[in-house]
Amino acid sequence: MARFQNKGTAQSSQGDKEPVYRDCVKQCVRTNCTGARLRGFQSAQPQYMALTGWTCRDDCRYQCMWTTVGLYQAEGYRVPQFHGKWPFARFLCFEEPASALASLLNGLACLLMLLRYRSTVPRQSPMYHTINAFSLVSLNAWFWSTVFHTRDTYLTEKMDYFCATAVILYSIYLCCVRTLGLRRPGVSSMVGVLLILAFTSHVSYLTFISFDYGYNMAANASIGMVNLLWWLCWCWQNRRTLPYWWKCGLVVLLLHGLALLELLDFPPLLWVLDAHAVWHLSTIPVHFLFYSFLIDDSLYLLNTEKMGVKVE
């Protein structure tokens, strides 16, 4: 999903500010991206590259990026970023292969556990439909994360960021329904309306006013902290009555702890594996623990409802 750092496609970085890089791109575009040379490039370009939107100019930027990286390394300088991102070795049409693969695996883990949830938990369980909706929101976010890391464009970047925010906000709603909404449906409905308004305002600001990476990071981190504290309070209150409470507590702690991997922000190992990819890879097993909690809790709620016991 979306990075915590300022990684926008339009953002300027040290590498793309270098005159050698800019001159290289201008010369490459002038030489290769017009007339017969351009037609030759298009006829030789693999279909999968054309379908994912790679243009002659994009190829020039890619080649000139490595030319500049080579000069930096030859002079003993630290590898620079280009357009807000580290240089990655492209694999087929995948711009960031490790992050794209990790996003895909997260999505597959989420889908697998959703199917297990549906096959294990009856539809009559009070949280069944809310958890299904949360899973679909999550799957959508991992889909766009995979697309974005495959091909970084204006559209795919926005969809990655917005869908990641949608997951965080829906996590708040899921928490609200479980902790308050089963006894007070009106409360969860009001919270749901407020979260929709917050999401609409957030997307509108980033789309029509300013795509502020710092603001986006602060907003998501703040919402995530609310989610963390809310779930932990519920876990603590129910630690004596729910034997599976620790799964929920461990999941929220892991998700927020693993997010700190983003702060490492090192140049990609072998030009493929950076801190963002490591973060995404580390979250794959968390899906299995989280859905194990959701299954246990949904079955508990179903049983207590049948027995007429008050839900905690």
Q: Long-range contacts of range 258-266, CB-CB < 8 Å, 24 or more positions apart?
A: 258/282, 258/283, 258/286, 259/4, 259/224, 262/3, 262/4, 262/5, 263/4, 265/5
pLDDT tens digits, one per residue of 237-246: 999 999 999 9
Q: What local confidence, expressed as pLDDT, does residue 148 receive?
A: 95
pLDDT tens digits, one per residue of 243-260: 999 999 999 999 989 988
CB 223 within 8 A of CB 172: yes
Residue 69 pLDDT exceeds 50: yes
Residue 264 pLDDT exceeds 90: no
Contacts of 199 (CB under 8 A, 6+ apart): 165, 166, 169
pLDDT tens digits, one per residue of 105-128: 999 999 999 999 999 999 999 999
Three-state secondary-structure class, residue 276:
helix
CB 104 within 8 A of CB 146: yes
Residue 132 pLDDT exceeds 80: yes
pTM for the complete prediction? 0.88
CB 19 within 8 A of CB 67: no
Tell me what the pLDDT averaged over the chain comes to. Answer: 90
Cα Rg of the chain (Å, integer):
23
**Cα gap 172→169, rounded to integer Å:** 5
pLDDT tens digits, one per residue of 139-154: 999 999 999 999 998 8
Residue with tokens 């990819």: 277
- Domains of the chain by range and CATH? 1-91 (no CATH), 97-307 (1.20.1070.10)
What's the whole-number mean pLDDT along residues 183-208? 92
Q: What local confidence, expressed as pLDDT, does residue 7 receive?
A: 45
